Amino acid sequence: MARFLFATVPAVGHTVPALPIARALIERGHTVRWYTGVAFAEKITAVGAKFHPITDPDFDYSLVGLEEHYPRRRELSGLKKLQFDLVQGFSKPVPNQVRDLMALLQEEPADAVVTDTAFIGGVFLQELGGPPVAGFGISVLPFPSRDLAPFGMGLAPATGPLGRLRNKALAGFTRQVVYRPVTAEINRTRRMLGLPATAGTIFSYPLATQLYLQFSPPSFEYDVSDLPGQVAFVGPPRPPVDPGWEPPSWWHELSGRRVVLVNQGTVATDADQLIRPALAGLADEDVLVVAVTGGSDPAELGPLPANARVERFIPFDQLLPRVEVFVTNGGYGGVQLALSHGVPIVGAGRTEDKIEVNARVAASGVGVNLRTQTPEPDVIRGAVAKVLADSRYATAARRMQAEIAQAGRETRAAELLEQLADGSTPGRSELVSGTTGDRLHPDHAAF
């Protein structure tokens, strides 16, 4: 029996995706403790893990979200908003993360710590002599690469001398301008803990994990030449079943109709950006449009077109088998769940990580990237018609579906975590297939 300590950023997209992995570990006889925001206590205990809250309420925004917890965020946009999120949401909590995790490990040791991409306190703990850390990717691979522009630009890979020169120049710019305040905040913590300052960005820290579970198939990602060797493409874990959910009264209407699902995830939820334009653009089409708000009251949308049905929440695993196109702003979890059911995608989003997710939707052939946060109704209508008419999108999505099924999902993730906790590191051939990368590019080492 192994002892695992999960630690995640107190946000839905950073915590909920790993619940099936915790359940799989517990079913295999291991113990799991989980440190995160109080809003997730019930979900965590429901899978059999022991919940531990973030001790400082200043860093727990799980109950109200970043916008309500930090009202100043509403006044920001673009670069300033990104910097604010990275500093307030991911960097400033690190000292408290390290203190809390140290206290938990004093109470009961752990054989491995498991964190999401943005929870970098686990890497600090490992540097200070703590247990080995496994990371899991709640978005596209964030690692710096000589073949890619820095994360957040949404640019296609560029190899060869000129391409790599472009990437290096852009990396230098973002390090000095975009990520400078984040790096300064992290280095203040490093010095406080007696660790040397580093020049790497926040996206360099996942490189220090001993194992990195990526919740996608390999072909969704760019095929780079310097993929870190600890990456394991396990596919998206299957969402937990909600035993209390009952289908809405209109559920029977899904039969015999072409169904289009519209959703904006859990962060960028302004319905004016995608849900309302999609409802308007598809109002006269021969499809049934199902919009899921993610929490807000459907009545706020006002009168609906005759072919539209709106709910706060529907388990995607129940709905997606009946869907032909998924219209999304590019939330990573939703995109991967759609692909696990072979559903092609229309992506329209550029905030947070969505510019990168939607770029990969287009590059992998599983859908269309509208390259905007606020598409017009006629643009959405045209994109949906294109995906429905061109079978290549559905074919590519079904190929991805087969790849996800073969990846092993939460079962494979649990197996790899068992090996890490046992003191062994899986070989590269066990972790990833379908890529040509070396183990680690030398530039990655000096984070």
pLDDT in tens, 316-339: 999 999 999 999 999 999 999 999
Spatial CA neighbour of 142 closest among 5, 332, 4, 326: 332
The Cα–Cα gap between 214 and 404 comes to: 11
Based on the number of CB atoms within 10 Å of its own CB, is 411 exposed (0-12), middle (13-18) or buried (19 or more)?
Answer: middle
Residue 12 pLDDT exceeds 60: yes
Answer yes or no: are the C-beta atoms of 63 and 37 closer than 8 Å: yes
The Cα–Cα gap between 267 and 279 comes to: 20
| Model pTM above 0.95 | no
Q: Say how many C-beta atoms besides its own lie within 10 A of residue 255's C-beta.
A: 9
What pairs with residue 3 in β-bridges? 31
3-state helix, strand, coil in the chain (%, to 5): 45, 15, 40
Alpha helices by DSSP H, 215-368: 275-281, 316-319, 332-340, 354-363
Spatial CA neighbour of 116 closest among 189, 38, 191, 9: 9
> Which amino acid, residue 353?
D
Query: Which segments of the chain belong to CATH 3.40.50.2000?
Result: 3-235+408-438, 251-404
Answer yes or no: are the C-beta atoms of 357 and 335 closer than 8 Å: yes
Please give the CATH number for the structural domain made up of 3-235+408-438: 3.40.50.2000
Please give the CATH number for the structural domain made up of 251-404: 3.40.50.2000
> Residue 414: how many CA atoms within 13 Å on its side-chain side?
22
Local confidence band at 267 (pLDDT 50, 70, 90 cut-offs): low
Q: In b/e form, how buried is each residue of 257-293, taking b as 16+ CB within 10 angstroms? A: eebbbbbbbbbbbebebbbbbbbbbbbebebbbbbbb
- Return contacts of 78-87, CB within 8 angstroms, 24+ apart: 79/178, 81/351, 82/152, 82/178, 83/178, 83/179, 83/181, 83/182, 85/352, 86/179, 86/182, 86/202, 87/181, 87/182, 87/185
The Cα–Cα gap between 234 and 61 comes to: 29
Summarised one tens digit per residue, pLDDT across range 333-374 is: 999 999 999 999 999 988 878 999 999 999 999 999 999 989
The Cα–Cα gap between 223 and 28 comes to: 34
Q: Say how many C-beta atoms besides its own lie within 10 A of residue 39's C-beta.
A: 18
Write down the pLDDT at residue 423: 86
In percent, the amount of the chain with pLDDT more than 90 equals 70
Answer yes or no: are the C-beta atoms of 97 and 121 closer than 8 Å: yes
The Cα–Cα gap between 118 and 54 comes to: 15
Least confident of 20-34, 193-207, 259-273, 370-384: 259-273
